[in-house]
Structure 1
Amino acid sequence: MVTQLPLDGIPAGKAGPSSVRIRLAREDEVETLRLIERSAAQSFRLIEALSWLAVGDVQSAERHHELLAQGTNWAAVSEEDAPVGFLSAEVVEQDLHIWEISVDHLHQGFGIGRKLIQQALDHAATHGLEAVTLTTFRTIPWNCPYYERLGFRTLDETEMSPRLAEVLDLEAEHGLARDTRCAMRLTVDG
């Protein structure tokens, strides 16, 4: 049985683009995915301490290509088959680790991120993985609190694998203060 995400979180009156579907991203879409990540990052402009993220680096084209080759880079696409969001992940040990999830700012708030995460959960279940993991900001509403509503659990230091601790340390080296970040895990129902 695959974990099904709750349907709450869509604002009243926002049905969203029901025709958005999830598929594997394609090689010729990598630059579009990078533009989507840049667009999604504009939400950080509203948070003074993190506004630099709106103009900071996005996932490299090389990294997108690596994850495409692994079959773990999905695109949320419109009726016209144009990407409006994406999720990049990687199988590490018995987990599927989400490296990046971004939805174009004009398409945020319609459940597209939830559809992308459901795809990751389905992939993990199909491939016999134990969990889906990620790192994120603790207090930003569309980060940790959002993932908690979807069933992810924040890991304390004693529960965290060395791999996730290393990811948080690497993020700190790139300017993301360790005390503002957390690692999260959602166990996959077999």
Structure 2
Amino acid sequence: MVTLIPLDGIPAGKAGPSRVTVRPAREDEIETLRRIERSAARAFRLIEAFSWLAVGDVQSAERHHDLIGKGTNWVAAADGDQPVGFLSAEVVGPELHIWEISVDHLHQGFGIGRRLIRHAVEQAAERGLVAVTLTTFRTIPWNCPFYERLGFETLDEATLPARLDAVLDEESEHGLPRDTRCAMRLTVKD
């Protein structure tokens, strides 16, 4: 299914793509998606403690391939069907877990990330899933506060499901301090 979403609510003084199409990612776009993630990570250059993320590893081509095969890797394509963002997720039990969402730095601030999230939530509902989950930075404005505005709730560390606890532990092993991260959940409405 392809969802055409006209961009509305673009901040004054900003001109973005006139249309964004959210659709399944294709195999021939994997390297483009990796470039988009690297581009999106540029925002971390402004945060000293995490500036290393701007040049760090991105999601592997193998991982993209796997998620494309599962039908849970979606692209936001702008005018001319050119990918400008993506969301990679995976069905885990009764939930859709978002592993990565990235929008090219030149296309950030136009609502593309919100539309990718909305598409993922719609897909979760269509599949009969009960929730969408993710892990993110607690205090970085385009992370936890952004997801809260979209209806995600931060999960209590003391009652964190084992699966999400394990994801946070693995992230910590890869250099993301656990005290800077949180797990979030959005209940899917029927």
User: When the two structures are superposed, what TM-score results if normalisation uses the length of structure 2?
Assistant: 0.93
The Cα of 1:8 is off from its aligned counterpart by 10
For 1:73-152, what aligned pairs fall within 5 Å after superposition? 73-152=73-152
The 3 A distance-change label for structure 1 pair 19 and 184 is: same
Look up the SS of the partner of 1:133 in the other structure: strand
Match in the other structure for 1:62: 62
- CA distances 1:67-90 after superposition (whole Å, capped 9, x unpaired): 000000000001211100000000
CA distance in 2, matches of 1:145, 1:98: 16
Look up the SS of the partner of 2:44 in the other structure: helix
The Cα of 1:18 is off from its aligned counterpart by 3.4
- CA distances 1:12-51 after superposition (whole Å, capped 9, x unpaired): 4446323111000000000000000000000000000000
CA distance in 2, matches of 1:129, 1:182: 22
Match in the other structure for 2:40: 40
The 3 A distance-change label for structure 1 pair 10 and 158 is: farther
Match in the other structure for 2:3: none
User: When the two structures are superposed, what TM-score results if normalisation uses the length of structure 1?
Assistant: 0.93
CA distance in 1, matches of 2:11, 2:147: 16
Provide runs of 4+ in structure 1 moved above 4 Å. Answer: 7-10
CA distance in 1, matches of 2:42, 2:168: 22
CA distance in 2, matches of 1:139, 1:15: 28
Look up the SS of the partner of 1:80 in the other structure: helix
CA distance in 2, matches of 1:18, 1:184: 31
Checking the alignment, whether the CA contact within 8 Å between 1:16 and 1:111 is kept in structure 2 is no
CA distance in 2, matches of 1:175, 1:77: 31
Q: Alignment length, in residue pairs?
A: 184
1:17 maps onto 2:17 in alignment:
yes
* CA RMSD after TM alignment: 1.6
Checking the alignment, whether the CA contact within 8 Å between 1:153 and 1:185 is kept in structure 2 is yes
The Cα of 1:136 is off from its aligned counterpart by 0.2
Checking the alignment, whether the CA contact within 8 Å between 2:96 and 2:124 is kept in structure 1 is yes
Which runs of 5 or more structure 1 residues have no equivalent in the other structure?
Answer: 1-6
Structure with a larger share of its residues in strand: 2
The 3 A distance-change label for structure 1 pair 52 and 84 is: same
Match in the other structure for 1:184: 184
Which runs of 5 or more structure 2 residues have no equivalent in the other structure?
Answer: 1-6
The 3 A distance-change label for structure 1 pair 151 and 15 is: farther
Checking the alignment, whether the CA contact within 8 Å between 2:18 and 2:79 is kept in structure 1 is no
CA distance in 2, matches of 1:100, 1:70: 15
The Cα of 1:157 is off from its aligned counterpart by 1.6
Residue 178 of structure 2 aligns to which amino acid in structure 1? R
Residue 71 of structure 1 aligns to which amino acid in structure 2? G
* Structure with bigger RCO (C-alpha 8 Å, 6+ apart): 1
